[in-house]
Chains A and B, each alone.
Chain A
Amino acid sequence: MSNSAKAEAVLALHRFGMGPRPGSLAAVGTDPRGALIAELDRPLTLTAAAILPASAKAYRTVADDNARRAARAKQAQQQAKKQQTAAAPVMSEDQTQTQGQAQGQDKDAAEMAAKQAAEAVPDPGRPIYLQEAKLRTEAALAADIGFAERLVWFWSNHFCISAYKIQSMSGAYEREAVRANALGHFVDLLLAVEGHPAMLFYLDNLGSMGANSIAGINRSRGLNENIAREIMELHTLGVRTGYTQDDVISFANVLTGWTLVPPGDNPEHGGEFIFNPRLHEPGGQTVLGKRYEQEDAEQGRAVLRDLAAHPATATHVATKLARHFVADEPPPALVEQMAKIFRDTEGDLKQVAIAMVSSDEAWRGPPSKLKRPSEWGVGMVRATGITAVDPVRFTGGQELLGEGLWRPSAPKGYPDDEASWIDGVGRRLDIANNFAERVAATADPQAIIEDVFASEIAPEVKQAVGRAESRQQALALLFMSADFQRR
């Protein structure tokens, strides 16, 4: 392979893939663009996903556990009360005060103990989260190139939920709604995520009810605007694209009734999406100037289909994709080309991805994008050839770097620009140093440079690695080098 072909292959792995790993340069071969496109034809399913619970089952696991915990706490409290009553004999007047105080303290202590006992049970959503994290991370580690996995990550962040709020379903949500549609049409992806219980939960739609719905009339609760606004602002059209507060309210009314089946007596049921007509605002609604007269969930689907087809959505999505993969300020010609393909193919996301890597504009710029912590972390592990991770350690590292898996602090997801992340680079040194310490026995920095990177690394880095006082230090310097941080 010529030097320039090697350089383009390494750039392909960094910019569009998960980073070089042993054997990945051979997988890219002499036609990086063709190799990236070919990877999109392989199935995106996680082979080991059969061991993981579907979102509804994961949700029930946590809901059932919460119910049991609440019951135990109640029982413990009652027990504590009984003991106090038993321990309070008739007393003389002058004893009353001190005894009363002591009793108060006992009571607090007993309640505290009961509460602690109930809370000490580990959250059953946590092991599910960790299993999901392990599978997802190992898929990224195992991929020859990782372009398809990067697209899953991108769409998962675009349509983010938060594991802080709905931990049990966070991984299943990505598999069921995002991964299954990441290379399909945008409209199907949109319908899948907005109708997924995890998203409805995350953006507060479960209890949202129309003022004139059956439930709305009988109860003093009502509408929640959150999901309607974020769908238009973040998921489809983009902010400041012409929708109004009235559109938000109408769309929120359209989406009333989109909720999940509450866990009930039937252990096989609960946590699935359901359209509940009793919560739904009756009648037609006008969104973005168009009237929607449908009676049920079709009304919401119709609005979502129109939002997916809106030209502002094409531009919004193309801009975000190009910004994520290519440059903080992506070349306008590239964005326009991707937006055009989006419009021409009715949002065929695979074609949009192909358009991106087929454009010279996407390859021309220098590797100036700073990898996000998750990309950098996976890239570091991939370089060593390690394919299995301890999910506690791995997700913990991501958390410390400010990009906890499925835990963005707001529905906008994690940012994609250098300014947001560069000040955290110093923190990466702690992680790199720690990882280097653990793999120094087996990972050879010279071999990584020569075999994995085909020596496509700055000469200063090679020199620093060569002069390092220990293998651990050499690895830490290599992992921290700009060649690892930028793409």
Chain B
Amino acid sequence: MGFDNHLPTRRELLVGSGALFAWSQMPRIARAEGRDPRLLVVILRGALDGLGAIAPVGDPDWISLRGDRALVLDGKPPALPLDSFFALNPAMPNLHRLYKTGKAAIVHATATPYRERSHFDGQDVLESGLVKPGMTSSGWLNRALLAMESGGRVDPRGSRALGIGSVTPLVVRGSAPVMTWVPQRLLPASEDTQNRLLDLYQHTDPKLATVLQARMKLASLGGAPGAGDPMSDDPTLMPPGIARVRAYFAEAAGTAARYLAKPDGPRVGAMGFVGWDTHIAEGAASGQLYNLLGALDGAFAAIESNMSEVWHETVVAVVTEFGRTARINGTQGTDHGTGTVAFLIGGGLTGGRVIADWPGLKPAQLFEDRDLKPTTDLRAVLKGLLRDHLRVDEKILAETVFPGSADVKPMGGLVG
């Protein structure tokens, strides 16, 4: 049918959902141990099909579940083996290499406590760290920062969060101040104009003053590529092909890494990529999901490269609001589901393994006979990283960062 021509564009194009870093001279405890850890959280908005990313090729029910849409080791192109049971989407050779060298781990059949299927509520739970949607306007990463502040572990000059894109993700919203960065395309206003405006805001609108101040501080760090480029009159608005999606992912993630790597830069950050809502023609092996995972793989390479000397102190957690249906739907895609995967990469990681309490794929083993059943609480993974990498206190994790999660023990041994 004629309209098929249009289908890839929306999913491919909607990549610019922003990125943020929590900005803080911390964590002191880790520093006292002679470490200076970095944590970047990447949110895949739209719900990643975990089974399309990491295929359980050793599960006897895998082929019957997905038929000719199943990733397989002798596929075209062949899936990349991770162990005797799981294989990685062939779009991700970088991740495969990192995994083989112990610098990447996969958590499979994982989910937040959210069990409905609304993207927006699901992202709310993922980012707020609470068990239900709509309960708070702050994110767990921001509250983790605050917890550190209250422990006196933050530089007295104050903490800041930095964002790429114009809409701030919930995960870093909260009382700890936030700072954003948007790719530069126009000639920025002069320093003098900025100072005058700041002065004006300080007398009329303290909130706007905070935002402008954050931006000016960021500009002074000069981490953004192309800052000061001559202004362009023609911000290209043509729907980008996958090449531009790849470029965007790499630029956004690479910029995040460049800031995180700076000696006086932020230590914690978060960013989001959209486009994972693959209802139609998912294309795990060759279509839109393959392309998006390839772009994500490129982002991983950009992070590794730009982290450079501090790569060994870096952990990146890549998470999504929920998974997708285990079976292919009526339009060669997948609908909203439950269990999915999380990618962990970084030089600071103890990786080289797929962490999964595998639930199986028989109809009775699926959640509500439709989704991969979640067997690992994603909060356990995030709490493990915050505790062991950033040294956030376990009690604070259970009470304020992920309230009501005392029963969800932090997963140990993720970082070396």
Chain A residues with CB under 8 Å of chain B are 62-63, 66-67, 70, 123, 126, 162, 164-167, 201-202, 204, 206-209, 211, 216, 221-226, 229, 233, 239-240, 245, 260, 262-263, 270, 373, 392-393, 395-396, 399-404, 409-410, 412, 415, 418-427, 429-434, 458, 460-461, 464, 468-469, 473, 476-477, 480-482, 485-486
Contact across chains for A430 and B331 when beta carbons are under 8 A apart: no
Q: Which residues of B contact A245 (CB under 8 A)?
A: 117, 368
Q: Is the CB of A409 within 8 A of B17?
A: yes
Given A226-B279, A409-B16, A434-B187, CB of A424 within 8 Å of CB of B235: no
Which residues of the partner chain B approach A400 to less than 8 Å between Cβ atoms?
166, 182, 185-186, 235
A432 to B178, CA, bound (A): 22
Within 8 A of A (CB), among B315-358: 329-333, 335-336
- Nearest-Cβ distance from residue B365 to partner chain A, whole angstroms: 19
- The contact size tier of chain B is 35 or more
CB-CB under 8 A for A429 and B274, given A422-B207, A458-B204, A482-B205: no
Contact of A429 (CB < 8 Å), options: B119, B165, B197, B235: B197
Q: Which residues of chain B are near A63, meaning CB under 8 Å?
A: 2-3, 5
CB distance from A151 to the nearest CB of B (A): 23
User: How far apart are A227's CB and chain B's nearest CB, in angstroms?
Assistant: 10
- Chain A contacts for B163, CB-based, 8 A: 423
Q: Are A66 and B196 in contact (CB under 8 A)?
A: no
User: In the docked arrangement, what's the CA distance between A431 and B201, Å?
Assistant: 18
B204 to A165, Cβ gap below 8 A? no
> Which of the candidate stretches B28-36, B55-63, B91-99, B210-218 sits at the interface with the other chain?
B210-218
Point out the residues of chain A lying under 8 angstroms from B197, CB to CB.
429, 464, 476-477, 480
* CB contact between A240 and one of B133, B192, B203, B234 (< 8 Å): that residue: B133
Asked whether B233 is an interface residue with its Cβ less than 8 Å from the other chain, the reply is: yes
Q: Is the CB of A224 within 8 A of B330?
A: yes
A392 near B166: Cβ-Cβ < 8 Å:
no
Contacts of B204 in A (CB 8 A): 458, 460-461, 481-482
**In angstroms, how far is the closest chain A Cβ from the Cβ of B139?**
10
Asked if A240 contacts B17 (CB within 8 A), the reply is no
* Other A-B pairs, 16, CB within 8 Å; known A401-B166, A429-B194, A481-B204: A162-B14, A165-B9, A221-B330, A221-B332, A226-B279, A240-B134, A399-B235, A402-B16, A402-B166, A404-B237, A423-B211, A427-B182, A429-B188, A429-B197, A477-B200, A480-B197
Q: Which residue on chain A has the smallest CB distance to residue B137? A: A419
A434 to B208, CA, bound (A): 20
Task: Tell me how far the C-beta of A219 lies from the nearest C-beta in chain B, rounded to whole angstroms.
Answer: 9
Residues of A within 8 A of B190 (CB): 433, 473
Partner of A224, one of B13, B168, B193, B329: B329
Whether A222 lies near B335 (C-beta < 8 A) is: no
**In contact, B189 and A430 (Cβ under 8 angstroms):** yes
Is A66 a contact partner of B208 (Cβ separation < 8 A)?
no
Residues of B within 8 A of A221 (CB): 330-332
User: B118 to A233, Cβ gap below 8 A?
Assistant: yes
A468 CB contact (under 8 Å) in B178, B196, B203, B239: B196
Contact of A424 (CB < 8 Å), options: B134, B180, B329:
B180
Interface string of B266-278 (1 = CB under 8 A from A): 0000000010010
A204 touches B120 (CB 8 A): no
Give chain B interface residues in 273-313, CB to chain A under 8 Å.
274, 277, 279-280
Residues of B within 8 A of A263 (CB): 2
Q: Is B179 an interface residue (CB 8 A)?
A: yes
Q: Is B1 an interface residue (CB 8 A)?
A: yes
* Residue pair B10, A164 in contact (C-beta under 8 Å): yes
Q: Which A residues touch B179, using CB under 8 A?
A: 423
Look across to chain A and name the residue whose beta carbon is closest to the beta carbon of B162: A423
21 A-B contacts (beta carbon < 8 Å): A63-B3, A162-B10, A164-B10, A224-B279, A224-B335, A229-B118, A240-B116, A245-B368, A262-B1, A262-B2, A402-B167, A404-B237, A410-B120, A423-B163, A423-B214, A426-B216, A461-B200, A464-B197, A476-B189, A476-B193, A480-B197
- Say yes or no for B251: interface residue by CB 8 A criterion: no
- In the assembled complex, B199 has its CB within 8 A of some CB on chain A: yes
Give the interface of B toward A (CB within 8 A). Answer: 1-3, 5-6, 9-10, 13-14, 16-18, 45-46, 116-121, 133-134, 137, 163, 165-168, 173, 178-180, 182, 184-190, 192-194, 196-197, 199-201, 203-205, 207-208, 211-212, 214-216, 231, 233-235, 237-239, 274, 277, 279-280, 329-333, 335-336, 368
**Pairs A-B, 10 closest by C-beta atoms:** A222-B330, A402-B166, A165-B10, A426-B215, A424-B166, A423-B180, A433-B189, A482-B205, A396-B235, A430-B186
A434 to B186, CA, bound (A): 8
Q: Are the CB atoms of A427 and B166 closer together than 8 Å?
A: yes
Determine the chain A residues whose CB is within 8 A of the CB of B168 once the complex forms: 419-420, 422-423
- Which residues of the other chain, A, contact B215 by a CB distance below 8 angstroms? 426-427, 429
Residues of chain A with a CB closer than 8 A to B166's CB: 373, 400-403, 421, 423-424, 427
* Cβ contacts under 8 Å, A209 to chain B: 330
Q: Which B residues are in CB contact (< 8 Å) with A410?
A: 14, 45-46, 119-120, 274, 277
Using A207-B280, A460-B204 as known contacts, say yes or no to A201 and B331 having CB atoms under 8 A apart: no
A386 to B116, CA, bound (A): 49
Contact of A422 with B196 in the complex, beta carbons under 8 Å: no
A66 to B179: give the CA distance in the assembly, Å. 43
Chain B residue at minimal CB-CB distance from A480: B197
- Shortest A442–chain B CB gap in Å is 19
Query: Given the complex of chains A and B, what is the CA–CA distance between A202 and B6 in angstroms?
Result: 10
Known: A222-B330, A409-B14, A482-B205. A429 touches B189 (CB 8 A): yes
Give min CB distance, A417 to chain B, whole Å: 8
Q: State whether B1 touches A207 (Cβ < 8 A).
A: yes
Of chain B, the residue at the smallest CB distance from A65 is B5
A123 touches B239 (CB 8 A): yes
Query: Is there contact, CB below 8 Å, between B201 and A482?
Result: yes
Asked if residues B186 and A431 are in contact (CB atoms below 8 Å), the reply is yes
- Tell me which residues across on chain A come within 8 A of B205, comparing CB atoms: 482, 485-486
Contacts of A229 in B (CB 8 A): 117-118, 336
Residues of B within 8 A of A239 (CB): 118, 120-121, 133
B18 cross-chain contacts in A, Cβ below 8 A: 402
Residues of A within 8 A of B199 (CB): 464
Residue numbers in B under 8 Å from A469 (CB-CB)? 192
- Give chain B residues whose Cβ lies under 8 Å from the Cβ of A432: 189
Query: How far apart are A438's CB and chain B's nearest CB, in angstroms?
Result: 10
- Contact (Cβ within 8 A) A473 B180: no
From the candidates B119, B167, B187, name the one contacting A421 in the complex (CB within 8 A). B167
